Amino acid sequence: MREDRAINQQLDSITETDKQKLSPVNQSILKIWGPSRLQGKINISGAKNSALPAMAATLLSSGVCRLRQIPCLADINTMGKVLSALGAKIKQNGNTLDIDARDLDNPEAPYELVRQLRASFFAIGPILARLGVARVPLPGGCAIGARPVDLHVRGLQALGAEVHIEHGMVNAYISGSKKRLQGAKIYLDYPSVGATETLMMASTLAEGETIIENAAQEPEVEDLANLCIAMGANIFGAGTKTIVISGVPKLHSVDYTIIPDRIEAGTFLIAGAITNSEITIAPVVPKHLSAVISKLQSVGLKIIQDKSDSLRILPSEILKSTDIDTQPYPGFPTDLQAPFMALLSVCSGSSSVTETVFENRMRHVSELNRMGANIRVKGNHAIVEGVPKLSAAPVIGTDLRASAALILAALAAEGETTFQGLQHLDRGYEQLEIKLQKLGAKLERVDLVKENDIFPASI
């Protein structure tokens, strides 16, 4: 009975208001015809979660910075607009960005942009370190949780900044004539990726030594450190729990290539698994995918490392249940929880999924259940009873990774799925449908203006 209530609560979690927000008539949808068998090789883009803080880090530099392998995504455009509003000049040439922040002069990031992209808040560290003052709006919560910024704020205060939050704006400044942050010992209560990045960037230009303990160990943190090191920063230990930064007065220009996107790579491995297909992904850093590879192996799949930067997944007729528990890196990534749950929904037996990083990241469950999955949710814990097959349905993605999960489910489901939520997908997956089409999936983007009878007003 209590379980039934939990299911009903979950089913109610996508409200009519959500649906109206998600379905303006001028939006595109995806039509996906399944089940698909995929085949071939896919090129993995640069990591979104490296690219965004890397763009913020260029604000630290007194030279022109070239960033390569920047994926063409809506989030990257928004971050570009934030940097421009602050006074940086940006040129884009395909996946290469040239950012010139020599004349950085405006310490205030516009609310309209920060509201759209939480990661743009991370720019507060570089702006403050460079200008001695920063005004960045609180980004607010999002579909997956409240997402406070208290760890960023406390860390900046430990570095000597005065920080006041008024009218939704974080006002930070460095008092005194030197206008430099002061090195400090900072212990993070939780290994937040964003807080580690904000504080690491801010302390590159601080006076003295900063030690960040209980730091996030994500590969994107290490990548950001490598970028800052290439700009002249002294950073040791990034990628471990303790990062030591010895401040320098200035950072210079750089030409830097960011790492491949491990979340996109994981999504394609799961696409291979759920469609019972053989696909190869490259470039990847296999070490960054250890937790995901290990769980795919528990399900019964074989992953082969053909070269140092390429992985191949082999089909398996029998998929077995397994349990996942999201954790900070090197644990199982929260960003692949929803896509992996889509796979578990067709694995025989009972799997358990526990989300420990974000408090509201189960909203894909009700939509997966509409496609025939059998998943019960209680709080942040889901029990997935494997079903032999999924069936197509009209579905709505509520955030980026939930959307990816539904697309994967649709590839395996029988019939035509109509997917709404491309505004989420376009934030974080570069050309997902084109890449899937190249692998043989049958899907197409349809303009709702032309076909606005697909979703009647009641959806």
**Least distance (Å) between residue 359 CB and ligand UD1:** 6
- Of 119, 134, 138, 402, which lies in the binding site for ligand UD1, with binding defined by CB under 6 A? 119
With helix as H, strand as E and coil as C, how does 139-175 read? Answer: CCCECCECCCCHHHHHHHHHCCCEEEEECCEEEEECC
Which residue has its beta carbon closest to ligand UD1? 194
DSSP lists the bridge partners of residue 310 as 307
Which range of residues in 95-103, 192-200, 295-303, 437-445 is near ligand UD1 by CB under 6 A? 192-200
Instruction: Rule CB under 6 A: choose which of 86, 131, 151, 390 binds ligand UD1.
Output: 151
Contacting ligand UD1 within 335-374 (CB under 6 A):
335, 357-358
Active site residue 228: no
The structure tokens listed for 118 are: 């939480």
Minimum distance from CB of 103 to ligand UD1 (Å)? 26
- Alpha-carbon distance 19 to 2, whole Å? 27
Asked if 267 is part of the footprint of ligand UD1 (rule: CB under 6 A), the reply reads no
3-state secondary structure string across 338-381: HHHHHHHCCCECEEEEECCCCCCCCCHHHHHHHCCCEEEEECCE
User: In whole angstroms, how close is the CB of 220 to ligand UD1 at the nearest point?
Assistant: 6
Of the candidates 149, 373, 382, 411, which one interacts with ligand UD1 according to CB under 6 A? 149
Nearer to ligand UD1, 100 or 426 (CB): 426
Least distance CB 129 / ligand UD1 (angstroms):
18
Beta bridge partners of 314: 302
Cβ closest to ligand UD1, residue 194 vs residue 260:
194
Choose, by CB under 6 A, the member of 107, 126, 132, 194 that binds ligand UD1.
194
CB of 139 to ligand UD1, least distance (A): 9
Residues 127, 129: Cα–Cα separation, whole Å: 6
- For residues 32 to 51, the per-residue mask of contacts with ligand UD1, x marking binding by CB under 6 A and - elsewhere, is -----------------x--
φ/ψ of 169, rounded to 5, equals -115, 135
Assigned token pair, 131: 């200008």
Q: What are the phi and psi torsion angles at 97 (to 5°)?
A: -120, 135
The catalytic position among 65, 142, 228, 347 is 142
Q: How far apart are CA 135 and CA 177, in angstroms?
A: 19
Q: Which stretch binds ligand UD1 (CB under 6 A): 4-12, 193-201, 295-303, 418-426?
A: 193-201
Residues 6 or more apart in contact with residue 390 via CB below 8 angstroms: 34, 345, 346, 368, 371, 372, 373, 409, 412, 413, 414
For 248, residues 6+ apart whose C-beta sits below 8 A from its C-beta are: 204, 205, 232, 233, 234
Helix, strand, or coil (residue 444): strand
Member of 5, 9, 103, 148 binding ligand UD1 (CB under 6 A): 148
The CA-based angle 81-87-91, given to 5 degrees, is 60
Q: Give me the 412-441 binding string for ligand UD1, x by CB under 6 A, dash otherwise.
A: ------------------------------
Among 45, 192, 280, 351, binds ligand UD1 (CB under 6 A): 192
First to last CA, the chain: 29
Q: Which segment (22-30, 126-134, 143-151, 294-302) binds ligand UD1 by CB under 6 A?
A: 143-151
Q: Candidates 1-9, 141-149, 373-381, 409-417 — which segment interacts with ligand UD1 by CB under 6 A?
A: 141-149
Give the residues lining the site for ligand UD1 (CB under 6 A). 49, 52, 118-119, 145, 147-152, 190, 192-195, 216, 220, 334-335, 357-358
Mind telling me the catalytic residues? 142
